[in-house]
Amino acid sequence: MVRRTDTRQRMLDTAADLFQTQGYHATGLTQLTTAGGAPKGSLYFHFPGGKEQLAAEAVQLSSERTGELLSAIVRDAPDAPTAIDRAVDALASFLTGSDFQRGCPLATVALDAAAASEPIREACADGYSYWHGVLADYLAGQGLSPERADELATVVLAAVEGGLLLARTRRDVAPLRAVAAHLHATLDREFS
């Protein structure tokens, strides 16, 4: 017998994957339940707020998973340029490993649904804030002032997001690698 929490978690995992690859509007309720191996009525049982609630929670799950990965990468990096290189390597690997179907787990949903749904917008904003905080804390820990670390974390996050979008669109990691090279040079100057 499948426990209620197993079905709910499976639906969240499935939704996170589908929303990342297809976006919010292109992912239908039937597809969400079928791919999640759940009965049709289970969506509203587990997510009374429907697809919107499921999406917001899936975005939260994706942002937490990515944030944990980012935290591990920067925690183990000896310096900021290496941290950026390792993060970009991981992102490039995810892109190529998914045949460029999976870019940022938040961007597809943010661009697709955040303007029309406050819960989804908040989940995306919270996810980006989490990642920004990981970067800012790391940069401050490397010796930058909190203000400069905050500013540079914004630049890094925005540049990598743009690089991911271009790489996914072009089906080539070259834009992401170009962003990494530029950020590496910027960070080298910042910490020299």
DSSP state of 94: H
Calpha distance 130→61 (Å, rounded): 12
Alpha-helical (H) ranges within 23-117 are 29-35, 42-46, 50-75, 80-97, 107-113
pLDDT at res. 1: 40
CATH classification at residue 61: 1.10.357.10
pLDDT of 30: 87
**pLDDT confidence of residue 4:** 52
Is 23 a member of any domain? no
Task: State the pLDDT at residue 2.
Answer: 42
User: Contact 142/84 with Cβ under 8 angstroms?
Assistant: no
**Is residue 22 a part of any domain in this protein?**
no
Asked if residue 175 is part of any domain, the answer here is yes
Output the pLDDT for position 177: 97
> 128 in a domain, yes or no?
yes
CA 128 – CA 106 distance, rounded (Å):
8
2 within some domain? no
Q: Are 126 and 63 in contact (CB under 8 A)?
A: yes
Cβ atoms of 173 and 167 within 8 Å: the answer is yes
Q: Which domain holds residue 138?
A: 55-190
pLDDT value for 136: 98
- Whether residue 161 is contained in a domain is answered as yes
Q: Does 131 reside within a domain?
A: yes
Low pLDDT (below 70) residues in the chain: 1-5
Of the candidates 41, 32, 40, which has an alpha carbon nearest to the alpha carbon of residue 10? 32
Give the pLDDT confidence score for residue 5 in this predicted structure.
64
Q: Is residue 8 part of a domain?
A: no
* pLDDT value of position 41: 82
Total domains present in the chain: 1
